[in-house]
Structure 1
Amino acid sequence: MPAPKRIFKKTLSVLKTLGPGLVTGSSDDDPSGIATYSQAGAQFGFSMLWTALITFPLMASMQEMCARIGLVTGGGLASTLKNHYPKWILWLMIIFSFPAIVLNIGADIAGMGAAAHLICPAVPSFIFTIVFTALIIVAIIYYPYQKLAAALKWACITLLVYLAVPFFTDTKWLSVLRHTFIPNVEFNRDFVGMMVAILGTTISPYLFFWQATMEAEGIKQSKAALIVDKRVLKDMRKDVDIGMLFSNIVMFFIILTCGNVLYPNGVHQIETVEQAAVALKPIAGNLAYTLFAIGIIGTGFLAIPVLSGSLSYMFAETFDWDEGLDKKFSQAKPFYAVIVIALVIGLLINFTNITPLQGLIYSAMLYGITSPVIILIVLHISNNRRIMGDNVNSLRSNIMGAITFLLMLGAALALFI
């Protein structure tokens, strides 16, 4: 077989195995995440590029544990907590997760509306937020899981626009390489604050819940045997690794773009995604500006179903509701009701005095409180032979999990200090 054809077939084979891991990783680069990365580049230039190398193995390890829990138990983290741990732990997660996720949804909807308004200034941004919210609700309710998962997977392509932008500008690649592989740390309030923001954005509790549930959902939909063998685990790890790598590459290029274009031109304060796009326009040109705005809209359509879906599965597993994105609305009304309520509240936040930036700050604080606890719980579950059997953590997984816990605990303390 000719080499190009062989490479194409192998690439196609890998793409077919990708699913929950790719969607989870890509949804992590939502409009609120883009705002964080844009600010990191605008405020510190290339100085924070190295963080993408640090967060990748930590994200991949945690998501792999959650995925393995979903495959082995056949349920999400909420159901595992309910069946094997004190109920107050589960309730604590729900109490903190609901407002954090809803605020995150509101910030993402606002970002999508603002980006669409930049492309079509004649239409007010609030009109776009209403339209986008309605479209997402309809898609989630009327499309079964397999179709939705396929659509979400291909929606990840929109994130590739961020990889293109630096090549339309004058990029100092030697400086990029130096700041990527030689960490630069500044011990001041602003730098530490941005480190906390990046960790909170990349390692979020809702992603843990979504990953475990989607693996369980996928295996329920499969007609193959439900035995979790080495091949299944290998495919899952490949999916998670590629998804998290994709997420961090996008993060890297957003920091690179803003560090290369905004920072040297004196634009050091980016509070919203539309500010990042507008700041790019006079410096990098209309193409970079348009690509950036399109990417914001695409990532919103990808991330919001993940945010609302993770919350709905959490409630459904807690209260034993019929659940599943494969079910019709009439078969799982409470499950879909949570999704609709979360999206509507997120939309309404945009008509209050809470700005998207404030929403992100509040959600980051709530995530900061829950992340260390959830990480400890995931570590305990994935090392519990009574739950996981022979599929417990390896030494490497435990080391990476411990590092993640210590970093997130430090981030949570720094957030309040």
Structure 2
Amino acid sequence: MTGFLAKIKKLFRVLGPGLITGASDDDPSGIATYSQTGAKFGLSTLWTALITFPLMASMQEMCARIGLVTSIGLTSIIRDNYSRLLLYFMMILSLPAIILNIGADISGMGAVANLIVPSIKPIFFSISFTIILLILIVYLPYHKIVSILKYLCLSLFLYIAVPFFTHPSWEKVLRSTLLPTIKWNKEFLSIIVAILGTTISPYLFFWQVTMEAEDVKAQKRLVLARRKLYRENSDGEKPYRREKNFIKLLIQKMQLDVNIGMLLSNVVMYFIILATGTALSGTGLKQIDTVEQAAKALEPVAGKASYFLFALGVIGTGFIAIPVLSGSFSYIVSETFGWKGTLDKKYSQAKSFYIVIGISLAAGLMLNYVGVSPIQALIYTAILYGLTSPILIAIVLHIGNNKKIMGDYTNRALSNILGIITMIVMTAAAGALIYFQFS
């Protein structure tokens, strides 16, 4: 048992940006989407987890490899190698979507916290969570933030426990997982598009590239300090070869990190659909628009324990996702205008960077009190993500195959095949989303 725990601990040390990226994908707004899916269609969409996993994993692995090899963020790569018009177009579409996403998540956290402590109004929870997040992001160094986010990822396991309170028919679960059900109507196809838009979100591309770049720079500094990377060892190994071997080792660790992170993200999505599909689909409750509605609906059907676990999970995932969203926002803005600043810098060294984070959090918080409801925010976010995803996937594919940028670490055939499939699927989803919204 001790040996097993030691292996788990060793694995946990390897995990980092990939795990956090995957966990942040299951944010409160994503949980609302999955809950609505289960309530409306029962277990008939469980098979989507098998489809989205390879697509997510291939795109995030590509992004992670780009960050690892180049040591700079995705926005900087686009700025330095592509048209400024394309850069500004991506920024104009991406930033409002991220703000809307932050607003929906802050609102969801406040609402479920109010369910746990009804004597305190949701707005006070939302404001408190926003202030706490800002303080943590500004005053904690990057490695501390990563450590906290990694442990917060454990909150996702709460959702894996919830279905066991709902007593599903496991035979039906297995059948729904392995035998895809497709209903050719607007309502069902809309929810499939929503699942794709929630799981393959453009802001995750920016975050993954930047975090891998930050991670590799930190590790290179550590190796340089120990004089192991660029100086000759007694075996006469040259610096270039040593650096190449170092990057290969980092790529292997990164692939494990990304695959585990994306697998966890999809497992959580699967279990949320399973929990709500089992508990709610037979009750006549078909419309779940917010996470607090999902939590409330679970209580009379699956018991107070499941309701409490569900609510706690929403708060935990919010604390993971919002730093990722606000960090992505600031990296996009800062790199576009050439401002210096990363999460690895202190506030005094990167004031502009942290001020932008503060603005994104404040803007997200204010959205809930200027007439934009969380469900409206989710719809607008989905439309903007739907428009940006295919273009950004095409850019990531081009960068991944560009020898000038990637050198010896360009995409392999499997990465390109899965990437192209993802682009086709997301383009079709974007077209369907626009059609469904305006038809």
TM (norm. structure 2) is 0.93
Compute the displacement of 1:168 (Å).
1.7
Which digits, 9 at most, give the CA deviation of each residue in 1:98-130, with x for residues without a partner?
100000000000000000000000000001000
Matched, 1:207 2:204: yes
Compute the displacement of 1:174 (Å).
0.6
Matched, 1:376 2:394: yes
Q: After the TM superposition, which residues 354-365 of structure 1 pair with which residues of structure 2 at under 5 Å, given as runs?
A: 354-365=372-383
Compute the displacement of 1:5 (Å).
3.2
Which digits, 9 at most, give the CA deviation of each residue in 1:284-336, with x for residues without a partner?
11111111000001100110000000111111111121111121111101101
Compute the displacement of 1:82 (Å).
0.9
Distance 1:127 1:80 in 2: 40
Matched, 1:143 2:161: no
Determine the structure 2 residue equivalent to 1:126: 123
Unaligned stretches of 5+ residues in structure 2: 224-228, 230-242
Matched, 1:40 2:40: no
Compute the displacement of 1:15 (Å).
1.1
* Larger of the two Rg values belongs to structure: 2
Identity over aligned pairs, percent = 57
Count of residues in Structure 1 that have an aligned counterpart in Structure 2: 414
Determine the structure 1 residue equivalent to 2:8: 11
Q: Secondary structure at the match of 2:282?
A: helix
Which digits, 9 at most, give the CA deviation of each residue in 1:46-81, with x for residues without a partner?
000000010000000000000000011110110110
Matched, 1:345 2:363: yes
Q: After the TM superposition, which residues 127-206 of structure 1 pair with which residues of structure 2 at under 5 Å, given as runs?
A: 127-206=124-203
Matched, 1:56 2:53: yes
Determine the structure 2 residue equivalent to 1:288: 306
Compute the displacement of 1:266 (Å).
1.4
Compute the displacement of 1:232 (Å).
1.1
Tell me the C-alpha RMSD between the 2 structures. 0.9
Determine the structure 2 residue equivalent to 1:244: 262
Which digits, 9 at most, give the CA deviation of each residue in 1:253-272, with x for residues without a partner?
00000000000111111000
Determine the structure 1 residue equivalent to 2:226: none
Determine the structure 2 residue equivalent to 1:303: 321
Q: Secondary structure at the match of 2:340?
A: coil
Q: Secondary structure at the match of 1:264?
A: coil
Compute the displacement of 1:214 (Å).
0.1
Compute the displacement of 1:219 (Å).
1.3
Determine the structure 2 residue equivalent to 1:278: 296
Which digits, 9 at most, give the CA deviation of each residue in 1:86-107, with x for residues without a partner?
1111111110111000000000
| Paired AA for residue 269 in structure 2 | M
Determine the structure 1 residue equivalent to 2:235: none
Distance 1:278 1:34 in 2: 14
Which digits, 9 at most, give the CA deviation of each residue in 1:338-372, with x for residues without a partner?
10000001000111211000001001100000000
Q: Secondary structure at the match of 1:215?
A: helix
Distance 1:60 1:192 in 2: 23
Compute the displacement of 1:10 (Å).
2.1
| Paired AA for residue 272 in structure 1 | T
| Paired AA for residue 108 in structure 1 | D
Distance 2:312 2:369 in 1: 24
Determine the structure 2 residue equivalent to 1:327: 345
